[in-house]
Structure 1
Amino acid sequence: MITRFLTDVRLKFNPFSPRSKSARLFLSLIPPSARVDGMKIESKMLPRHSKEPASLALKFKDGKEMDLELDKMRITEVMERVDRHSRLLARKEELLGN
C-alpha cells in the first residue's frame, strides 16, 4: 500500500468486533516511521458493546478527503481505493519532476 501521500488518518473501530478486521489490518499496514514523516494518525477505539460501524477518514497531500465505512469493505477494497489515488498523485509528481 502506498502511504507516502497520506497526511491524515482517522480511524474509529471496535477492536472486539469481527467486522472491524479491515480497520485492524489497515492500521498494521501503516509503516512505523509514518508519524516521523509527518502523517497524523488518530485512532479511536469504541467500547466492546458498541454498534457503531468502523470508519476510516483519510486526507491526501493534494487535499482530497476520503471517508470509508470499513465494516462493509474488505481490506483489499480499502487498499485498492487508497492506492488508486496515491498512484495518481505519484504520476503527477513524476510528470512535474518533484
Structure 2
Amino acid sequence: MQQYMALTSNADDQPTLFVDTTKPLHILLDAAGYRIRAVTQVLENLAMRGDIASDSVILSDFALLCAIPLRDGCDVLDVIGRRLDKMPD
C-alpha cells in the first residue's frame, strides 16, 4: 500500500485530497468516525423535521453534500481494514 492514497471523492483525475496510510490506526479511525458521525447527525436532524419542501436540485446538492464525507470515511475505513489484514495474528 502506498503512503498516500487518493480519496474517492476527488473531483477529477488529478487528485488533491489524500489519506496518509501510515498514520496510527486510532488517528485514522477518529478521522473516519468524525466524517461519518457528522453526516449521521445532519441526516438525523433532517429526519426529525416534519415537512420539508424542496426541489430536486436542492435534494441532489444535499445528497452530494452527504455522500462526499461518507465516501471519505469509507475510504479511511478501507485503509484501516487493509492495515489490520497485514498485522500478524
TM-score between the two structures when normalised by the length of structure 2: 0.38
Q: Which has the higher strand share?
A: 1
